[in-house]
Structure 1
Amino acid sequence: MEGSSVEHDDAEEVNDDSPIEQVRLTVPISDDPSEPALTFRTWVLDLGSCIILSFVNQFFSYRTNQLSISSVSAQIASLPLGKLMAAILPTKEIRFPLTRWSFSLNRGPSALKEHVLITVFATSGSTGVYAMNLINTGKVFYRRSIHPLAAYLLVITTQMIGYGWAGVFRKLLVDSPYMWWPTNLVTVSLFRYVFYNASIIWGVIGPKNMFAKECIYSRMNWFFLIGLLAPVPVWLLSRKFPNQKWISLIKMPIIFKGPGNLLPARSVNFIMWGIVGLFFNFYVYKRYKAWWAKHTCVLSAALDAGVVFCAVLMFFTLQTYDIVGPSWVGLEANDHCYFAKCPTARGVRASGCPMS
């Protein structure tokens, strides 16, 4: 009986693991229920990282060479701050008058779950708000200002729609172990490292003026149909050739959506990103899986955070004083085309430009 009980427990533990190999190599399934989570430290660093990252990313989004600061930066910076607060804050209980409620400024050493919650808040702030594009474009290009209260309601409602759809499809988008994103492995790997090792279309112009039959963007409607049908050939081929496992790895939604998250960089950047990504996530993963599981995601986080910290430092110490340094290949924000600034409307004449 004891042997069967042990086997049953082992089976439950195995079934609790992820069916994705990359996730199994990176994410542990162990848990410590005694670790504190919602502490005073958590709320202070949560709100601070969320507010700061949302402001900084929105600020840098107006640059010609846009800079995006990921939550990895807050993840790295919040660890020493959490340990500092654990070392200097008093442990005395603070009680609310006339209630039984109380809390402590310091519930002991900084815990992993606190760090995870801080990173979650930082991620929600670093991703930005899509509705800001509507507000900015309407004001800059169409001279249409929106009342602050209306702008606030627009931002909140559009964000809540996204969270609402995630809740409606929770079983498919949240609970399913097959819905994973490689970027999250970088965050989880950094946790394991740190504690055990130290649009204007819909808002201003309107869809009729953009996609109606007589308008310039009317042919874009076909892409909705293409996006709907694109996964079907991949599915049919995977069923027809089940031994060709690589076919099932073709994810058309990722191919279409993934480039939308890329920064407006030059071709040399994309080439280098592709080479590095293929080398580590195909060759190294296939030949040296243990090394990949231990170092790849941490290396990605280190490179990401290093670029961000240096970029912010150089902006405030050099670029704000008009010190831009040497002109590197790919740094100039132009298309190297003499006609790039020419008008495109029909019948408009400009010196040195061809007639539209």
Structure 2
Amino acid sequence: MSTELKERNRRKKRKEKKRQQKEDINDNPIEEVRLTVSTTDDPTLPALTFRTWVLGLVSCILLAFVNKFFGFRQNPLSVSSVAAQIAVTPIGRLMAATLPTTPIFIPLTKWSFSLNPGPFNLKEHVLITIFASCGAGGVYTTRIIAIVKAFYHREMSPFAAILLALTTQLLGYGWAGLFRKYLVDSPYMWWPSNLVQVSLFRTLHENDTRTKGGLTRLQFFLMVIATSFAYYVVPGYLFPSIGCLSILCWLWKRNIFMQQMGSGLHGLGIGAFSFDWNAVISFLGSPLSTPSHAIINTMAGFFLVAYLVVPAAYYSNAYEAKRFPFISSSTFDHTGHMYNVSRVMDKNTFSLDIKSYNSYGKLYLSLFFALTYGLSFATLSATISHVALFHGKSIWRLWSQTASGKSGEFSDVHSRIMKRNYAQVPQWWFHILLAVTFALSLLACEGFSKQLQLPWWGLIMACGIAAFFTLPIGIITATTNITPGLNVITELIIGYIYPGRPLANVAFKTYGYISMTQALWLLQDFKLGHYMKIPPRSMFIVQLVGTVVASLVYFGTTWWLLSTVENICNVTLLPDGSPWTCPDEEVFYNASIIWGVIGPAKMFTNRGNYPQLNWFFLIGFLLPVPGWFLSRKYPHFKFFKLINIPVIVSATMMMPPARSINYLTWGVVGIFFNYYVYKAYKGWWARYNYILSAGLEAGIAFMGILLYFCLQTKDIFGVQWWGLEQDDYCPLAKCPTAPGVRVEGCPVLG
């Protein structure tokens, strides 16, 4: 009898579990979404109002200016739309309290609008934030302008640059339109970073009851932002070196090996730590908005590459690694000195001079930099096989259900509300925009005396690559908050086909890589609107206008800085404490040399130094297979399903310009909050985690802006003492270790 009772209880528990799972899927299958996103909607709230346009455009312009302005700095300060999301709240409410409510009629039409359609509401706030997101998203083509003017010291037509900026951003709408059914409507594509803003929106607009002995979400947010704002004066002005404290370098001041191991900026960062939140989020984004499984996959990849593969290869002198620094994004010649690209460039044609190149010699990379390219090859092929194995059936089912007009298992409460209450964006809107943008792209490439060097067939190839990879990379981004890049494969393809032309290479990369990245930004914003129940057509209009405005502001800011900041990007000529070191632009410039000037045929074939790296394509393609096989054979072990090979393989893709200290601090913070706190204190996590992320980021942004306009515009960069340097005082970590190599500032080893 007891056995029958136990069996009955087990069956009852199984039924209850299945019922709960069905309820979860009916709401949303992702627990973080269920804990954060509301399932209610008020379709009567006005969205695209006068307040939306004014505050949205101002936010877009300001964030575009600030992000490009700070993007040239040693620790790039990326101000996200969260800052605008916070700042416009009191302004919107002030406008609602003071503006007249009388309708204003547009002459010769039946249209009218009101300056004040009622209380400042959630939907207006979301659209303003989407405007701001367009400004915060970045315009990659400004790096092309920077390397042409600051590194190659050549002139460039501003009209060609403007067209390049606009078209690379707007092409993304075409790819977004093709795949929004898969990457927005599906509840399994949950875009984790959006939950920060969702949580903040609810904090700012919903009534919240203070718990006994606790704080409301708004009180907590105000406390965090005030603390972050006040504290950032320390790493931002008084003590910049606190961004990376490398203890081993202090203990072993003359030991190259220990400094390579201990430097957080130029080595492996063992024992290094940071007290600067900006160092945590600079390159990898906020760890508080990244799922724990993605953080663990990333850190596993980081430790595997940085602490195992690279040291083993370096100290065995693979690729003559000891002739060069342990970690560096620079390019070198056979003597261990910086590669002098001017010696191999034809100044008249701005292309490679073969005779000069053969006389000067091959180009070398630091081992870490070379391995980064190999891992890029592996990431590309791993992304294709991972998505095909783990998501292929789901993609096929969703495509079939979309084609038949059914929603099936891919519909949740949010999708049903959106389809019931709002008209969708017609597909032809995306198609027309794609056609017009492609025509303008042809003009940018073939016009203006062909300054961009990219022919029409190169543009078509770039667009094909972007269209092909938007879906697989979008799936990884929408589920992990980590985006594998297409920059290397685009550089590789055009470098083989059209070598010796650096601007053709970077233009091809931008059309192939950035148009896809822009599509993912748009889809992420569409998902935010999906969660917040925003009319899709209003979303489309705001995104389109915001993208155009942001592109123009990014271009103008870049052109202005390059024309007014003396010696910008030239580290050797900048004054002490100057932040204008352009770390991203330096990597971009070196990549243009590797792939554009020299070309992959002289790097990754038998004519170059790194032909073995091509095997990474095959390795990456095969790596997801064991995890997929184990997940099928042992379906009850969720561990196997959480192994994400593209994320593991691409973990160190940001190095350089990212450093070890960025990864180590990001990983520690992320695992603590999104694994330990999430498991042990789920109630606190659900209430405060995303608010904490938003407050820390916004406080840094506001103080960073204040410091610049109050002090740095007057060339006051900080108090003159050893802590002013944006360095970790590990000079020997940058030294070669091969016998007889002479580099200034480094000992010559025997």
What is the Cα deviation at residue 328 of structure 1? 8.2
Question: 1:35: how far off?
Answer: 0.9
Contact 2:631–2:641 under 8 Å retained in 1: yes
Q: Deviations over 1:242-292 (max 9, x none)?
A: 222122122333445566679956544533332221122112212222221
SS in 2 for 1:108: coil
Shift of the alpha carbon at 1:223? 4.6
Query: Please, which of 238, 247, 250 is the counterpart of residue 643 of structure 2?
Result: 250
Partner of 2:674: 281
Identity of aligned residues (%): 54
Give a deviation string over 1:152-189, Cα, whole Å, max 9, x none: 11112211232322221222222222222221111100
2-side partners of 1:12 and 1:244: how far apart? 20
- Aligned 8 A contact 1:42 1:117 in 2: yes
2:74, 2:726 within 8 Å by CA — same for their partners in 1? no
Opposite residue 76 of structure 2, the aligned amino acid is Q
Equivalent position of 1:231 in the other structure: 624
- Check if 1:324 corresponds to 2:718: yes
Residues 111-130 of structure 1: pairs in structure 2 closer than 5 A: 111-130=121-140
Task: Quote the Cα distance in structure 2 between the aligned partners of 1:328 and 1:265.
Answer: 23
Q: Of the candidates 572, 589, 600, which is equivalent to residue 211 of structure 1? A: 600
CA distance in 1, matches of 2:733, 2:706: 35
Note the residue ranges of structure 1 that are not aligned, 5 or more in a row. Answer: 1-10, 343-347
What is the CA–CA distance in structure 2 between the aligned matches of 1:223 and 1:166, rounded to whole Å? 30
Q: Which shows bigger deviation, 31-40 or 168-177?
A: 168-177
Alignment-derived partner of residue 357 in structure 2: none
Q: Give the secondary-structure state (helix, strand or coil) at the position aligned to 1:174.
A: helix
CA contact (8 A) 2:63 2:132 kept: yes
State which drifts further: 14-23 or 66-75.
14-23
Q: Who is 1:270 aligned against? A: 663
Does 2:200 match 1:163? no
Question: How does the TM-score come out when normalised to structure 1?
Answer: 0.83
- For 1:94, what is the secondary structure of its paired residue? strand
The answer on whether the counterparts of 2:196 and 2:690 sit within 8 Å (CA) in structure 1 is yes
Q: Is the contact between residue 112 and residue 195 of structure 1 (CA under 8 Å) also seen in structure 2?
A: yes
Amino acid at match of 1:19: P
SS in 2 for 1:324: coil
Q: Structure 1's 222 and 134: CA in aligned 2 closer, same or farther, altered over 3 A?
A: farther
Contact 2:735-2:743 at 8 Å conserved across structures:
no
- Name the SS for the 1:32 alignment partner: coil
CA distance in 2, matches of 1:48, 1:241: 53
CA displacement 1:9-41 (0-9 Å, x = unmatched): xx9997552211111111112111111100000
The 10-residue stretch of structure 1 (190-199 or 328-337) with the greater mean CA deviation from structure 2: 328-337
Query: Which one is further off, 326-335 or 270-279?
Result: 326-335
Q: Match of 2:141, as an amino acid?
A: A
Bigger RCO (CA 8 Å, 6+ sep): 2
What aligned pairs does 1:40-119 form with structure 2 within 5 A after superposition? 40-119=50-129
Contact 1:166 1:174 in 2 (8 A): no
Kept in 2: contact 1:211–1:217 (CA 8 A): no
- The counterpart of 1:337, out of the listed 703, 706, 731, is 731
Moved more, 160-169 or 191-200: 191-200
Q: Which has the larger displacement, 60-69 or 31-40?
A: 60-69
User: 1:287 and 1:277, CA in 2 relative to 1: closer, same or farther beyond 3 A?
Assistant: same
Bigger shift: 36-45 or 281-290?
281-290
Give the distance between the partners of 1:291 and 1:107, measured in 2 at CA.
37
Summarize deviations over 1:294-313 as a string: whole Å, max 9, x none. Answer: 11111111111112222222
Whether 1:202 and 2:595 are equivalent positions in the alignment is: no
Instruction: Give the equivalent residue in structure 2 for 1:312.
Output: 705
- Of the three residues 692, 695, 705, the one matched with 1:302 is 695
Aligned match of 2:521 = none
- Secondary structure in 2 matching 1:169: helix
Q: 1:350 to 1:265 in 2, by over 3 A?
A: closer
1:248 partner amino acid = K
Asked whether the 8 Å contact 1:284–1:292 carries over to 2, the reply is yes
Q: Give the residue type in structure 2 aligned to 1:303.
A: L
Work out the number of aligned pairs and report it: 340
Residues 189 and 157 of structure 1: CA distance in aligned 2, closer, same or farther (over 3 Å): same
Report the secondary structure of 1:182's partner residue. coil
Q: 1:114 to 1:216 in 2, by over 3 A?
A: farther
Other-structure match for 2:683: 290
1:349 to 1:166, Cα distance in 2 relative to 1, 3 A? same
User: How big is the shift at 1:44?
Assistant: 0.8
- 310-319 or 257-266, which moves further after superposition? 257-266
> SS of the counterpart of 1:103?
strand
Would you say 1:153 and 2:163 are equivalent positions?
yes
